[in-house]
Amino acid sequence: MNEKVFQVNLQDNVAVALTALEAGSTVPLIGDTEQKEITAVTDIPVGHKIALRDISDGEDIVKYGVVIGHAIKNIPKGSWVHLEEMASNYDERSSHLDAVTGAPKDMSYK
């Protein structure tokens, strides 16, 4: 599959990488979108989210046209948006998971 990014809803400020993206690559943006392409400024794993514009700390993260959480730092356009950049408005535990594997870091295995 050629590199591309999918925007679900016109109101969204994040889109989904349908392939893994390398920092610096400019790829087509498809779906419900006004921008034709987006440049990744960080590496983005397949299936993960990329910021479609600069997002400020505390701002809503919108996907599917609905709020799926809020930014916990300033997120530059084109960067990876996941557990270290955003948090749920409900679930506190998901902020304590490893950003790559999703493994819990709040349990003792001693």
Partner 1 sequence: MVIYTVKCSEFVARQIVERTNSRDVELVGFDGCTDNQYAINMLISMIRHPNVGAVLAVGLGCEYIQPEWLADIATQEGKLSSWMFIQKEGGTRLSIQKGESWASWAIRELRSTPTVPMTWKDLVIGAECGGSDYTSGLAGNAVVGRFFDKLTSLGGTAIFEEIVEAVGLKDVLVKRGATEKAKEEIAYTYDKALEYCKSVNQYSVSPGNFAGGLSTIEEKSMGAIVKSGSGKIQGVLKVAQRPEKEGLWLLDSTPDPYWMQFGITNPNDNEGLMDLISCGAHMVFLVTGRGSVVGSAVGPCVKITGNHETFERMSEDMEFDASPILEGTKSMAEMADDLARYVAEIADGKETKSEALGHKEFFIPYKYQENTVAIHRKCEEG
* Residues 92, 20, 16, 59, CA torsion sign: positive
CB of 39 to partner 1, least distance (A): 19
Which CB, 77 or 82, lies closer to partner 1? Answer: 82
Q: Give me the residues that bind partner 1 (CB under 8 A), please.
A: 1, 6, 8, 16-18, 30, 45-49, 61, 63-64, 66-69, 81-83, 86-94, 97, 99-104
CB of 29 to partner 1, least distance (A): 13
CB of 69 to partner 1, least distance (A): 4
Which CB, 30 or 41, lies closer to partner 1? Answer: 30
For residue 77 the two structure tokens come to 């356009």
Sheet of 5-7, strand order:
37-39, 26-31, 5-7, 14-17, 49-51, 80-81
Which CB, 23 or 67, lies closer to partner 1? Answer: 67
User: Do 13 and 55 touch, CB atoms closer than 8 A?
Assistant: yes
CB of 23 to partner 1, least distance (A): 17
Q: How far apart are CA 52 and CA 13, in angstroms?
A: 5
